Structure 1
Amino acid sequence: MRTKLNLAASLIAGLLFGFSANAQKTVIKKEALPANAQTFLKTHFGSKKPSYVLEDKEILSTEYKVQFDNKLEIEFDKKGNWKEVDGKEAKIPASIIPKKIASYVKTNFSKEKITKIEIGTYGYETKLTNGLELKFNLKGDFTKIDK
């Protein structure tokens, strides 16, 4: 029985290593991003040029990461939809933040700025300059504070 468990664990580890070994990060031009990502960058960052654009290809998925000189990073999914905007402790552009979330933060944390926003299956997660993490549902309604 023990050898079967060891064999199964070895197979799983081998498969996981194999999948991760096939991951490939490549520097690409901004123009090679999916159209949605290009539109997002043009809308919220105008003519600012990124310091780099990465395409991260794995067996089952592709993601893109764009970084600007101020260290602000944006992650996109394979279709070019933004997943995360991280200002690395600096304020992110207000135009990215859904109005309902921006209003909640302005009303309840008037001295704070949003430094990171992430969208997931169940909603948004934001990080404020004071370190608090706020969660919102997909409609932008506040759900909880997470620290």
Structure 2
Amino acid sequence: MKMYKKISTALFAVLVTIGFLSCSNDNDDVQPDGETIEVSALPQASRTTLSTYFTDANVTSARRSSSANIYGSIYKALLSNGFEIDFDKDGLWTEIESERNLPIPSSFLEGQVPAIQAYVVANYANNHIIEIEREQFGFTVELNNSVDLVFDREQRFIGVDLDGNDDDDEVRIPLEQLPANARNFLTTSFNGATAITIKREKDDNEISFEVYLDNGIKIQFNEAGDWVEIESKRNVIIPAALIPANIAQYIVQSFPAYVVKEIEKKRNGSFTIEIQHTTSGNDLELEFDANGNFIRVED
């Protein structure tokens, strides 16, 4: 198990409109690759980024699309060192990817996303960033060990994705493409949070969705839009209403110094609850049956 603007009705409508305008299909890349243009036809901001941070490579191809993708990308620059850099209509970078698993220049990271760079250096000293995407409400980075890290707009760490799914089976989607049940759940249960990134995944022909919220909550939904896993990444309290009353009561009585960190609802109706000690930080995993009766503590 692994998950400040309000998702109010009004904001939801705005997000849906933005998602509709920015994504006409499921491809993350500029779609299609678009017409080839001269480097001089790239927006000035794009050319400044290239000349400032990617001085050891040449632009081998520049392209312009007639429609933006989910990141707002319109322009793409392909570099001789294997980097692909996407930009929006104003020339602001939206996605940088290394086709050869080379590290994105530290000068770029330190200049553009210093807090993210500092987090990776401190927590993944033996790895480096090979891809970074500017989401509407934050950032997603991929390390050379295939770990994805999610950050909010202020570059604060949100969560880690260890799924390791093949790219063909995992795509970013706008809020409007979440099942209605999932959208309603977000509005009802997490009305004080904004979705940073939303992914649709396919594994063994099963569809699921993952939503990272800017308050440090990660939620997984099944194909019908019912939540199956909720994880708190920044000590945010999981709403009590989402925990069956008898389970919540058992935890309060038996583990008073612990708070619920994760909750998983299994297909047979049973629950796995991960709790964390408020002082030591130690975790315990508790199993409950479909009726909320305690079964055991997992080793």
With normalisation by structure 2, the TM-score equals: 0.40
Q: Greater CA deviation, 80-89 or 22-31? A: 22-31
1:127 aligns with 2:274: yes
**SS in structure 2 at match of 1:42:** helix
Displacement of 1:121: 2.8
Q: 1:137 aligns with which of 289, 293, 298?
A: 289
Q: Are the counterparts in 2 of residues 89 and 129 from structure 1 also a CA contact under 8 Å? A: no
Distance 1:86 1:69, change over 3 A: same
Distance 1:22 1:72, change over 3 A: closer
Q: In structure 2, how many angstroms separate the alpha carbons of the residues matched to 1:117 and 1:49?
A: 20
Unaligned segments of structure 2, at least 5 residues: 1-164, 278-282
Alignment partner, residue 32 of structure 1: 177
Deviations 1:36-70 (CA, angstroms, capped at 9, x unpaired): 11121111101521111111134611110000123
Q: Superposition RMSD on alpha carbons, in Å? A: 1.9
Q: In structure 1, how many angstroms separate the alpha carbons of the residues matched to 2:217 and 2:179?
A: 19
Q: Are the counterparts in 1 of residues 216 and 234 from structure 2 also a CA contact under 8 Å? A: no
Question: What is the letter of the counterpart of residue 26 of structure 1?
Answer: V
Q: Are the counterparts in 2 of residues 61 and 78 from structure 1 also a CA contact under 8 Å? A: yes
Question: What is the letter of the counterpart of residue 216 of structure 2?
Answer: K
Q: Which has the larger radius of gyration?
A: 2
Alignment partner, residue 264 of structure 2: 118
Q: In structure 2, how many angstroms separate the alpha carbons of the residues matched to 1:39 and 1:138?
A: 24
With normalisation by structure 1, the TM-score equals: 0.78
1:43 aligns with 2:188: yes
Deviations 1:97-142 (CA, angstroms, capped at 9, x unpaired): 1111111111111121100000113410001113011110011111
Unaligned segments of structure 1, at least 5 residues: 1-19
Size of the aligned set, in residue pairs, is 128
Written as runs of structure 1 = structure 2, the 5 A alignment for 1:32-71 is: 32-58=177-203, 60-71=205-216
More helix by share: 1
Q: In structure 2, how many angstroms separate the alpha carbons of the residues matched to 1:143 and 1:94?
A: 21
Distance 1:49 1:21, change over 3 A: closer
Alignment partner, residue 13 of structure 1: none
Give me the identity figure in percent: 30
Q: Are the counterparts in 1 of residues 215 and 234 from structure 2 also a CA contact under 8 Å? A: no
Deviations 1:73-112 (CA, angstroms, capped at 9, x unpaired): 1001111111100113623222211111111111111121
Q: In structure 1, how many angstroms separate the alpha carbons of the residues matched to 2:285 and 2:188?
A: 26
Deviant stretches of 4+, over 6 Å: none
Question: What is the letter of the counterpart of residue 191 of structure 2?
Answer: G
